[in-house]
Structure 1
Amino acid sequence: MTDYEAVTTFLGQWGPFQQRVFFLLSLSIIPNGFSGLSIVFLADTPSHRCLVPASANLTAAWRNSSIPLEEESRGGAFAPSKCSRYKLDVIQSFSERGLLPGIDVNLSDVQQEGCLDGWEYDRSMYISTIVSEWDLVCDDKWKNPLTSSLFFCGVLTGSFISGQLSDRFGRKIVLFATMVVQTLFTLIQVFSPSWAVFCAMFFIVGLGQISNYVAAFVLGTEILNPPVREVFSTVGVCVFFGVGYMLLPLLAFLIRDWRMLLLALSMPGFLGVPLWWFIPESPRWLLSQGRVEEAEAILRDAAKKNKVQAPQVIFSAVQKDLQSEKREAHNICDLLRSRNIRWVSVTLWLVWNILTIAYFALSLNTSNLHGSAYFNCFLSAVIELPAYALSWLLFRCCPRRLSLFSTLCLGGLVLLLIQLIPENLISLAIALEMIAKFSVTAAFAIVYAYSAELYPTVLRNTAVGACSMASRLGSISAPYFIYLRSYSVSLPYILIGSLTALSGLLSLLLPESFGMPLPDTIAHMQEFPGCCKKRPYRLTQTTGEEERATENKISLAVS
C-alpha cells in the first residue's frame, strides 16, 4: 500500500483544515473532564453525627453530650462519634431526674446505640451530596467507593465495545453516538430517585465517556500529519480535558447541591452535537475499508479549505491493491494472535492498568487532603497543564520509552517519599503529592500517544480501546486504594508508589516508535524485543504483493 503520509503531503501541515479538526475534536473532550471526576464532589462525605430528634425531652447539657467521643485514627484527638449515640431513653431519664453528664453520671457506663433516627450533616460546605441524601455512611459507607467503581465498570465496558464498533463502523459515528449517550444519561442522573438508579445511570455515563474520548483521540491521530499529531495527542485533547477538570471545582463551589451541579455539567454536552457537520471521518479508516472514493472526497475538500491543489488521482496504488486483495476484517482477538503484537499488547495493558490506579487514586484523594476540597481539586487540575506541556516536549524530542520510564519512575519515587514527611509539614506533603500527580499525568498523556503509534490503522481504535479497557481494572480498584486510608494513611502511597515505579521498568520492554510513521498493517509494526528481527517500517512505497508476502511470512512463522 502506498504510504498514506507521503501521499497526503500536498495538504501541508497546519492549514485551516488541520486547525479545524484539531480544535473541534479537542473541544469535544471538555465534558469528559466533568464526568470523569465529578464524583469527587457528588459523593464527598460531609461531617456527620447521629441525629437527636427535637422531640426528645433533653436538657441543653444532655443534648450536647448525647454523642460519645471517639479517638480519631491519628493524632490522638477525640471527636464526636459518626455512627453511634447514647441510648436515647436512658439519657432522657437522666435528664428528667436533673442529673448532669460527667458529674452525676459517668458517661462511659451509659449504653450506646446506632443512629436510629438518621444523621445530622454539616451543611457549611455542601447543601447535599449523594452521601447525605441517601445516608451512605456507617454501615452503608461501602457504597461510596462502589459508586466510583461502577462508573469505571461502565468505562471498562465502553472500552471493550467502542473500539471494535469504531473499527467496524467508523470513528465519527461512534464519537457522536457516545457523546449523546454521555450527555443524556448525565441529565437523567439528575432525577435519580435512589442510589441504585444513580449508579445504573453512572455506569452508562462511564460507557459513553471513555468511548467518545478514545474515538476523538484516534480520529485526530489518523487525520493530522506527524508534527501536528504529536501536539494533538499529547497536548490538544489532554489540555481540553484539563480545562473541563479545572472548571469542575469552580462549578462545584458555586453550586453546592449535587442535583443542580449535575444539571450544569450536562449542558455543555449538547453544544457538541453541531460539530457533526464540521468534523470529517478518518480517511485512513475509509481506506482500510476499501472506500477509496470517500477518502479522496474528504482530502479534496481539505485541499480546497487549505487553498492547495490536490492531485488528479490521489490513491492510485491503493486502488490497485484493493482490486487484487480481499480486505480482511480485524477484531480484538488479533491483538493476541501473533507473538509480536501479543507481547506489545500484554506489556501495554500492564502499564496502562498501573498508571490508571495512580492517576485516579491521586485525583479522587483531593477531598481527603488538608484544606479546602475545592482548592485542592483545582490545584490537582491546574498541575495537569504543565504536565501536558512536558509530555509534548518529551514526545517531540525524546525516545518514547525513555519519556514514559522517566515520568513513571519519578511519580512512583515521590509517592514513596510522602510517608517519610513529618505530620506537621502538611504543605510539603501536599506539594509532593502534586508533583506525583504531575508526573503521572505526563505519563498518561505519553502512553496514549505512544500506544496509538505502536498499533496499525486496521486495529488502532480497537487496540487503544483494549488498552483503555485493561486499565479500567485499575480505575475500578482506585477508590479502594483510597479506602485503605481508614487503616493506615501511608498504605495507599506505599502501594501506589511501588506499582508506579514497577510500571516504569516495564515500559522499557516496549519497542521504540520515535521517528517512525504510523503503521497501516500488522506487518508494519515495530518488533517487541526478543521477537524475530525485521526491517523497520519506513516512509517508502510498497506494492500490494510485497506487503502480502511479508504478512504471509509472519503467518507461516506463527503457525
Structure 2
Amino acid sequence: MQDYDETTAFLGQWGRFQQVVFFVLVASNIPNGSGVFSVVFIADIPRHHCLLPDVNITEDWLHVIIPVEVIDGEEKRSSCSRYRLDVVRNLSAQGFLPGRDVNLTELQQEGCVDGWSYSKDIYQSTIVSEFDLVCSEQWKQTFTSTVFFLGVLVGSLISGQLSDRFGRKPVFFATLVVQTVFAFVQIFSSSWAVFCVLLFVVGLGQISNYVSSFVLGSEILTGHVRVLYSSMGVCLGFAVGYMTLPLLAFYFRDWKSLLLAVSLPGLVYLPLWWVIPESPRWLLTQGRVEEAESIVRKAAKWNKVQAPQVIFKDYSAHVDEKKTPSIERHSVFSLLRTKTLRSLTLILCLVWFTLSTGYYALSLNTSRLHANPYLSCFISAAIEVPAYITSWLALRYIPRRVSTICVLLTGGVSLFFIQLVPQSIPSLSVALEMLGKFGITSGTSLMYAYTAELYPTVIRNTATGACCMVSRVGSCIAPFLLELSTFSKFLPYIILGTMSAVSAAAALFLPESFGRPYPQTIEEMCQGRRLKFPCLPPKQRSKLSSRELFESKL
C-alpha cells in the first residue's frame, strides 16, 4: 500500500486548497504573537516613589523628602522609602533647612505608608500601578509572567492528548475561544489574584492553539510546502503579531485598553471553522476513511484536479472487511515505553528546555535593552523574521541534526561573549544579545519541524505537546533567571550560554529525519530511522498487530 503523501500526490503541493489552509493558519497565529508578550507592557514597572499627601512643608523639604540612593553607579530617588513625614513636618515648621541645619543622613526613614506615585511619561497604567506590585510586593510582578507560563506548561500537555483523541480542528477552535474570551475578561480583574487566575487560563489556551495549528497544517500540507509552513509560515505569523504589539502598546498606554486591542482580533477567526478542514491523516488513523476522502475530494475540487474514484482504496477495503481491531490509545507514557523512545524524548526535552528558557529570557529582557521599551520590543521582534527565514532554508537544504547543533552554538557563544564587551560600547552588547536571540529563535522553529518528523502520527501531537510542556518549565523560570542580574550583570548570559553548549552536545545523538516521509506508527518510526534499539516492548517486536499494519500505510 502507498503512504498518505503518495496517495494524495494528485492534489499537487500548492493548489488553491493548500494556499487557503496555509495562509489562514498562518494568520491565526498573529493574535498568539501579540498576546504572549503583552505582559512586557501590561506588567512593566513604571518609575515610582512614595506618595506624599498634602502636607504643610516648605519647597526645600518637599524636594529632598525622598532619599537619594546609588543604584548601578547612578543616583536615583528611592522607590520604597521616604524620610519620616512627622519629623520633616516639625523641622519645616521650625524653619530648619535641609542640608544646612539638618544632616539628612541622620534622619529616620519609613516605608511608603500612604502608597506610591507612579510616573506616566511612558505608561498611563500597568497592573503594577493598578495593584501596587512594588517594593515588598515586587515579587508578584515577576511571578505574573511565571503564572502565564505555568498555564502554557499545562496546556502543552493537555492539548496534545486532546488533539490526538478528539481531532486537531476541534481543539484548535476551542482553544482559540478560550484564549480570546479569558484575555477579554482580564480587563475586569478586581485584584492581582483574579488577574493571575485568568492569565493562567489565557496561557493554557495560547499554547494549545499554537500547537494545534502547527500540527494541523503540517499534516494537511505535504512536501516543501509543509517544510515552509512548519519552519517559517506559522512562525512568521507569530512574529507579525509580536511586531504589532509595540505599535499597539504605543497607542494604548493603559493596560486595559491594550488587553482589549490584543484579545478582540481573535474573534475574527471563528468563522474559519467552515474553511479549515480536519487533518485527513488523523482521520485515517481513527479509521474514519469516508471523512478523510470527503476532505481530499473537496481539496481536488478546489485545485481543479480529478480525484480517483476511490482515493484510499486499500484502507476502505480494510475497514469494510472489518479486520481492524479496536484503536489503540496512546498517551504521554507511550513516549517512555522503550529505551530508544526514552532517550529520544529526553534529548529533545533538554533541547526544547534550553531554547525556551533562552527565548523567553531574552524576549522579556527587552525593557532593559533600550530606554524606549517600544523600540526595544520591536527590535527583539524584528530579529525573529530573519531567524525564521534561516530556519526554513536550513530545513530545506541542511540535515536537521547539523542545523540544530549550529543554531545552539550560535546562540550560546554570542551570549558568552557579552561579558567581554567594554561598557563604553553598549551597542555591541545589544548586537550580541540579538545574535543570541537569532540563534535561539532559529532553533525553536527548527525543533517544531524536527520533532514532528521524528514522531509518528499516532503520537505526534502528544509528543509535540510533551516537549512543549517540558520547555515551558524553562519559560516559567525565565523571569526569575533575569533577576540573577542583581548578583552579577552577566550571570543570566553565562547560564544560558552553558545550557546551549550542553544541549548542542546532546543533539549529536539525535536521529536524522532529513528527506524522509512522516512515520505513521511507532514501529515505522523506528525502522525508518535505523535506530540502535527496538522501539516496541519485547512482546510486540516480532509481529505487528493488524491495526498497526493498517496504520503503517496511512
Q: 1:231 aligns with which of 228, 232, 235?
A: 228
What is the distance in 2 between the residues matched to 1:141 and 1:341? Answer: 43
3-state DSSP class of the match of 1:532?
coil
Q: Does the 8 A contact of 1:235 with 1:391 survive in 2? A: yes
Gaps of 5+ in 2: 536-541, 550-554
The equivalent residue for 1:537 is none
What is the distance in 2 between the residues matched to 1:78 and 1:180? Answer: 48
Q: In the TM superposition, what is the alpha-carbon distance from 1:506 to its structure 2 partner?
A: 1.6
Q: 2:146 aligns with which of 149, 164, 171?
A: 149
Q: Percent identity of the aligned residues?
A: 56
Q: 2:267 aligns with which of 267, 270, 274?
A: 270
Q: Does 1:337 align with 2:343?
A: no
Q: Does the 8 A contact of 1:352 with 1:447 survive in 2? A: yes
Q: 1:305 aligns with which of 302, 306, 311?
A: 302
Q: In the TM superposition, what is the alpha-carbon distance from 1:199 to its structure 2 partner?
A: 0.5
Q: In the TM superposition, what is the alpha-carbon distance from 1:68 to its structure 2 partner?
A: 1.0
Look up the equivalent residue of 1:61 and give its one-letter code.
Answer: D
Say if 1:240 and 1:123 are closer, same or farther in 2 by CA, change over 3 A: same
The equivalent residue for 1:119 is 116
Q: In the TM superposition, what is the alpha-carbon distance from 1:342 to its structure 2 partner?
A: 1.7
The equivalent residue for 1:457 is 457
What is the distance in 2 between the residues matched to 1:267 and 1:469? Answer: 27
Q: Does 1:467 align with 2:467?
A: yes
Between 1:244-253 and 1:314-323, the stretch displaced more is 314-323
Q: Does the 8 A contact of 1:86 with 1:110 survive in 2? A: yes
3-state DSSP class of the match of 1:512?
coil
3-state DSSP class of the match of 1:516?
coil
Q: Does the 8 A contact of 1:416 with 1:493 survive in 2? A: yes
The equivalent residue for 1:538 is none
Deviations 1:438-483 (A, max 9, x none): 1111110000110000010011111111111111110100100111
Map residues 269-288 of structure 1 onto 2, 5 A cutoff. Answer: 269-288=266-285
The equivalent residue for 2:493 is 493
Q: Does the 8 A contact of 2:324 with 2:547 survive in 1? A: no
Q: Does 1:71 align with 2:79?
A: no
The equivalent residue for 1:27 is 27
Say if 1:394 and 1:256 are closer, same or farther in 2 by CA, change over 3 A: same
What is the distance in 1 between the residues matched to 2:185 and 2:233? Answer: 30
Q: In the TM superposition, what is the alpha-carbon distance from 1:345 to its structure 2 partner?
A: 1.0
The equivalent residue for 1:368 is 368
Look up the equivalent residue of 1:15 and give its one-letter code.
Answer: G
Deviations 1:186-223 (A, max 9, x none): 00001111111110100000000000100000000100
Q: In the TM superposition, what is the alpha-carbon distance from 1:176 to its structure 2 partner?
A: 0.2
Q: Does 1:197 align with 2:198?
A: no
The equivalent residue for 2:385 is 385
Say if 1:42 and 1:36 are closer, same or farther in 2 by CA, change over 3 A: same
Q: Does the 8 A contact of 2:160 with 2:462 survive in 1? A: yes
The equivalent residue for 2:246 is 249
What is the distance in 2 between the residues matched to 1:465 and 1:349? Answer: 11
Q: TM-score normalised to the size of structure 2? A: 0.95
What is the distance in 2 between the residues matched to 1:434 and 1:77? Answer: 26
The equivalent residue for 2:431 is 431
Between 1:198-207 and 1:367-376, the stretch displaced more is 367-376
Q: Does the 8 A contact of 2:151 with 2:203 survive in 1? A: yes
Q: TM-score normalised to the size of structure 1? A: 0.94
Between 1:495-504 and 1:178-187, the stretch displaced more is 495-504
Say if 1:520 and 1:529 are closer, same or farther in 2 by CA, change over 3 A: closer
What is the distance in 2 between the residues matched to 1:485 and 1:199? Answer: 25
What is the distance in 2 between the residues matched to 1:342 and 1:499? Answer: 21
What is the distance in 2 between the residues matched to 1:182 and 1:150? Answer: 15
Between 1:334-343 and 1:323-332, the stretch displaced more is 323-332
Q: Does 1:296 align with 2:293?
A: yes
Q: Does the 8 A contact of 1:512 with 1:526 survive in 2? A: no
Q: Does 1:532 align with 2:546?
A: no
Q: In the TM superposition, what is the alpha-carbon distance from 1:546 to its structure 2 partner?
A: 7.8
The equivalent residue for 2:215 is 218
The equivalent residue for 1:409 is 409
Q: Does the 8 A contact of 2:163 with 2:461 survive in 1? A: yes
- Structure 1 residue ranges (4+ consecutive) displaced by more than 6 angstroms after TM superposition: 527-530, 549-552
Q: Does the 8 A contact of 2:361 with 2:478 survive in 1? A: yes
The equivalent residue for 1:259 is 256
Q: Does 1:58 align with 2:40?
A: no
What is the distance in 2 between the residues matched to 1:248 and 1:373? Answer: 11
Say if 1:550 and 1:501 are closer, same or farther in 2 by CA, change over 3 A: farther
Q: In the TM superposition, what is the alpha-carbon distance from 1:533 to its structure 2 partner?
A: 7.3
Q: In the TM superposition, what is the alpha-carbon distance from 1:69 to its structure 2 partner?
A: 1.2
Deviations 1:333-388 (A, max 9, x none): 11111222221111111111111000000000001123211000000001100110
Q: In the TM superposition, what is the alpha-carbon distance from 1:2 to its structure 2 partner?
A: 3.5
What is the distance in 1 between the residues matched to 2:546 and 2:126? Answer: 61
What is the distance in 2 between the residues matched to 1:197 and 1:529? Answer: 51
User: Pairwise CA RMSD of aligned residues?
Assistant: 1.7
What is the distance in 2 between the residues matched to 1:128 and 1:484? Answer: 27
Look up the equivalent residue of 2:231 and give its one-letter code.
Answer: T
Q: In the TM superposition, what is the alpha-carbon distance from 1:310 to its structure 2 partner?
A: 0.7
Look up the equivalent residue of 2:136 and give its one-letter code.
Answer: D
The equivalent residue for 2:160 is 163
Look up the equivalent residue of 1:170 and give its one-letter code.
Answer: G
What is the distance in 1 between the residues matched to 2:113 and 2:306? Answer: 77
Q: Does 1:83 align with 2:80?
A: yes
Q: Does the 8 A contact of 1:30 with 1:240 survive in 2? A: yes
3-state DSSP class of the match of 2:236?
helix
Deviations 1:116-172 (A, max 9, x none): 111111110000000111111110000011100010110111111111110000000
The equivalent residue for 2:512 is 512
What is the distance in 2 between the residues matched to 1:550 and 1:282? Answer: 19
What is the distance in 2 between the residues matched to 1:230 and 1:298? Answer: 22
Q: 1:128 aligns with which of 125, 130, 143?
A: 125
What is the distance in 1 between the residues matched to 2:478 and 2:223? Answer: 34
Q: In the TM superposition, what is the alpha-carbon distance from 1:51 to its structure 2 partner?
A: 1.2
Q: Does the 8 A contact of 2:281 with 2:457 survive in 1? A: yes
Q: Does 1:399 align with 2:375?
A: no
Q: In the TM superposition, what is the alpha-carbon distance from 1:530 to its structure 2 partner?
A: 7.0
Q: Does the 8 A contact of 1:454 with 1:526 survive in 2? A: no
Q: In the TM superposition, what is the alpha-carbon distance from 1:309 to its structure 2 partner?
A: 0.8
Q: Does 1:179 align with 2:176?
A: yes
Between 1:346-355 and 1:207-216, the stretch displaced more is 346-355
The equivalent residue for 1:539 is none
Look up the equivalent residue of 2:167 and give its one-letter code.
Answer: G
What is the distance in 2 between the residues matched to 1:146 and 1:268? Answer: 27
What is the distance in 2 between the residues matched to 1:92 and 1:204? Answer: 49
Q: Does the 8 A contact of 2:526 with 2:534 survive in 1? A: no
What is the distance in 2 between the residues matched to 1:285 and 1:446? Answer: 23
Look up the equivalent residue of 2:134 and give its one-letter code.
Answer: V
What is the distance in 2 between the residues matched to 1:47 and 1:547? Answer: 66
Deviations 1:298-320 (A, max 9, x none): 00110111111111111122234
Look up the equivalent residue of 1:300 and give its one-letter code.
Answer: R
The equivalent residue for 2:137 is 140
Say if 1:504 and 1:529 are closer, same or farther in 2 by CA, change over 3 A: farther
Q: Does 1:484 align with 2:475?
A: no
3-state DSSP class of the match of 2:458?
coil
Say if 1:142 and 1:56 are closer, same or farther in 2 by CA, change over 3 A: same
Say if 1:345 and 1:522 are closer, same or farther in 2 by CA, change over 3 A: same
Deviations 1:80-123 (A, max 9, x none): 11111111111111101111111110011100010111111111
Q: Does the 8 A contact of 1:370 with 1:426 survive in 2? A: no
3-state DSSP class of the match of 2:457?
coil
Aligned residues: 539
3-state DSSP class of the match of 1:271?
helix
What is the distance in 2 between the residues matched to 1:194 and 1:517? Answer: 51
Q: Does the 8 A contact of 1:484 with 1:491 survive in 2? A: yes
